[in-house]
Amino acid sequence: MTTIVRSPISAPLLAFVLALAVPARAQQVWVVDATGAGDFLGIAFAIDAASSGDTILVRSAIDVELSVPLIDGKSLDIVGDGPAVNAGYALGIRNLAEGQFVRLRNLAFDGGPAALGAEALTCLDNEGLVWVEDCVLTGLNGIGASFIETEAWPAMRVESCAGVIVVRSSLRGGNGRTACASGHCTGMAGDGRPALLAIGSDVIVFESELQGGDGGHDGVPPKQAGAGAPGLRAEDACSVLLVDSLAQGGDGGNTCVNDPTTCVGGGGVQLVGSGNVLRRRHATTAGGLGGLVSGDVYAAPGEDEDVDPGSVVEVLPATPRSLEGTSPVRAGEAGLLRFEGRQGDLVGLFWSPVPGFLYLPGKQSTLALGLPFQGPLFVAAVTSPDGVLQVHFGAPDLTSLGLEALPFDVQCLHVSDGQLLLSSPSTLTIVSPAF
């Protein structure tokens, strides 16, 4: 049976503890609702209206502009009011200064339409932190048709970023375009694109799936199908920690009769150039299948790990532990924290109003809480054979704090087999019942 405990932190006491972290300016909540029941129909106008530190609550969204909504140099929390809420085509985050952060939770971006020409999520030139949790990011597929021919796009591009955290999210790169037989296009199939393209950045991925896009098929001359893409492509001295996750290469496209090297499978992970470091902890990397050449002949599959000279892969020991908190939680309602580990683990919960990004080699993980973090809010032992510990807590009323919402991050320190280790993190948002 699962270990279920009531948090020793009551709602009034939790309110007092959280009050220690209340900012000088009370944050505002902006509601995005495509039905017109909120402040805005799409997230672009909400982002423009919000001040640094505000929260955007997304119930549903429509894209009212044919451009990528952009968070430029300010801290925001954007949280879907339910699982994988459609937040529009794409989002860009850039120019976060040190100490600034953007946290995304429960959102889905699909990368379209073709005229937009962007990744589902782009993070560029950020000294501050980007946190992506319980999100679905889908790269735009390539198109090969009369009068329009486009390349595929990655699901997420991270370039020149000091810290990006991805938790329990699904990323899929776009599939390459299928060859077009019309006289208005070239007739060439396209390559798939990576789920996650990291360039000169530090990234940590917890409990997520990175699926590279498949190569496009080719049924017309010159019969040169596209290659599958890696689940993760890192270049320009990246540092990536992959924990309890899957990086799966895409499959090559079919019918590459004239050149079988064009429709190879994508690698699970591809480290391009020197200086890249991939650390794996209980993570799987798998190459995609090669495309059909002809008959029963297939192109080469992708490598599980395609590593250039000067880049390295390190395999870390120990089994990771998982932490997930329900979010958003309305004030006055019950929230739930779920820790998955092993029977006998001793677990302490810590929290911070701001995220952090500090890799601790001895803990085989990254401390995702900003310093100084607070806690423990509770300490409990996992007694159930399934290794699951569930903690229910009451979300406090925010009125006395003068707040409409209060986002914060949690992470567990746990003692297992005599070692003090870190769980995966989770970001939570308590909101007023008025929203």
- The domain made up of 322-431 has a fold known as S-adenosyl-L-methionine-dependent methyltransferases (2.20.130)
SS (H, E, C) 130-187: EEEECCEEECCCCEEECCEEECCCCCEEEEEEEEEEEECCEEECCCCCCCCCCCCCCC
The CATH classification of domain 25-315, taken from the options 1.10.1760, 1.10.10, 3.30.70, 2.160.20: 2.160.20
- Give yes or no for residue 84 having a pLDDT over 80: yes
Average pLDDT over residues 319-323: 90
- Give yes or no for residue 42 having a pLDDT over 70: yes
User: 103-124: per-residue pLDDT in tens?
Assistant: 999 999 988 765 566 799 999 9
Integer angstrom CA distances of residue 89 from 44, 101, 218, 347: 11, 22, 28, 39
pLDDT at position 180, please?
65
Count how many Cα atoms sit within 13 Å of the Cα of residue 383 in the half-sphere of its side chain: 6
User: 213-226: per-residue pLDDT in tens?
Assistant: 999 887 565 667 88
The whole-angstrom separation of Cα 203 and Cα 243 is 11
The whole-angstrom separation of Cα 94 and Cα 204 is 18
The whole-angstrom separation of Cα 112 and Cα 140 is 6
Q: Find where tokens 């699901």 sit.
A: 155
Nearest partner of 232 among 201, 270, 206, judged by Cα: 270
Pairing of strands 269-272, 419-431: unpaired
Average pLDDT over residues 89-115: 90
Q: Find where tokens 């798998």 sit.
A: 286
Mean pLDDT comparison of 341-350, 374-383, 390-399, highest-scoring range: 341-350
The arrangement of strands across the sheet holding 209-211 comes to: 85-88, 107-109, 136-138, 170-172, 209-211, 246-248, 284-286
- Give yes or no for residue 232 having a pLDDT over 60: yes
Average pLDDT over residues 179-191: 67
User: 273-289: per-residue pLDDT in tens?
Assistant: 999 999 999 999 999 99
- The token pair that represents 5 in the structure block: 């405990």
Q: What is the mean pLDDT of the chain?
A: 88
Residue 46 CA from chain centroid, whole number: 21
Nearest partner of 249 among 263, 234, 236, 266, judged by Cα: 266
- Residue 99 identity: G
- The token pair that represents 352 in the structure block: 């911070």
The whole-angstrom separation of Cα 371 and Cα 382 is 27
Per-domain residue ranges for the chain?
A: 25-315, 322-431
CATH topology identical between 25-315 and 322-431: no
The 10 Å Cβ neighbour count of residue 74 is 19
pLDDT band at 13 (very low <50, low <70, confident <90, very high): very low
Average pLDDT over residues 345-355: 92
User: 369-393: per-residue pLDDT in tens?
Assistant: 998 888 888 889 999 999 999 988 8
pTM for the complete prediction? 0.94
pLDDT band at 333 (very low <50, low <70, confident <90, very high): confident
- The token pair that represents 223 in the structure block: 């019969």
Which of the pair, 60 or 13, is modelled with greater confidence? 60
Sequence-distant (6+) residues with CB within 8 A of 362 are none
Lowest mean pLDDT among 1-15, 49-63, 290-304, 386-400: 1-15
